[in-house]
Amino acid sequence: MATRQKRIGFIGTGAMGLPMMTNLVQAGYRVRAFDADGVRLAAAECAGAERGADVGDVAASSEVVFLSLPDSRAVEEVVLGPGGIAEALDETLGFTLIDTTSSKAATSERVGAALEAKGAKFLEAPVSGGVGGARKGTLAVMVGGDEAVLAENREVLGAVGKSVIRAGALGAANIVKALNNLLSATSQLAVAEAALLAARAGLDLETFARVAEATLGSSDALRRKLVGNMLAREGTSAFRLTLLYKDLAYATELAAKVKVPDLIAGLAREVTADAHQRFGADAVALNIIRALEAWASDEPRVFPEL
């Protein structure tokens, strides 16, 4: 495959970042990567990236830099902190930062303003589809920022995602991402509650699920999470509880800001916090189903171990 001309940087080569970066390499881009974790950085090299010395080195040697970081605090540190991207640019023109982190809208607005002052461009681009989607290059990419900047970078975003949709100005995409995960979590909890009721009432769980799939009760949470991941054991979500809790916290913070009741979001956040305490920070988010079951009673368990 011919090497593409645009020089790409990638900062944060963890569970989501590494496969996204790998797809950029496989699409023919020359990629310079950095991660504070040496093991992750070595994995990026094995996947075909050049090793960056630090954040500033990656920024100074790239036309487009992707971020894939844990949260908004990490984004602000990497971009705005000492030795960060903004400092390394030194008013360099023609530079674009694309942040795939699930972050806060306010963080995107601050980062965008700081980069604009340096003559640089910024897109927030949180993704959905999990590690499996990242590996396959089929992620849904939600973009916040200027339409013209998105047009300039559609091709490179197409290397990591199948669907690239502009949500609006900076901040809009991260709001959509938080609300998307709110819908995902609450859908899973509704399915879990119905399934738990069915099982405790003496129904066969797989029969209940098959019937529900043929009705208006059908949902992605029912098909993929309950039937696929838990009952058929067709893999399990790699999305961690810590990250789900972060997104639900963003959603409830937004609810307080815009004065909307967070009855459902607040309950989902509470169950997720309980699951986090029961199963640990590194447990997968699907454990919210098991946490809901644990709330119900001390009866024999219905849902399998993950």
Tokens of 222: 């029912």
The alpha-carbon radius of gyration of the chain (Å, integer) is: 21
**Does residue 182 contact residue 247 with C-beta atoms inside 8 Å?**
yes
Contact in structure between 283 and 300 (CB atoms under 8 Å): no
177 is catalytic: yes
The span from the CA of 186 to the CA of 180, in Å, is 10
283: alpha, beta or left, given left = phi > 0 and alpha = psi -120 to 50? beta
Nearest Cα neighbor of 55 from 70, 35, 30, 27 is 35
Work out the number of other CB atoms within 10 angstroms of the CB of residue 212: 20
- Residue 64 φ then ψ, to 5°: -130, 130
Pairwise CA distance, residues 248 & 246, whole Å? 6
Q: What is the DSSP string of 93-129?
A: SS-EEEE-S---HHHHHHHHHHHHHTT-EEEE--EES
**From the candidates 104, 121, 177, 225, which is the catalytic residue?**
177
Q: Which residues are catalytic?
A: 177
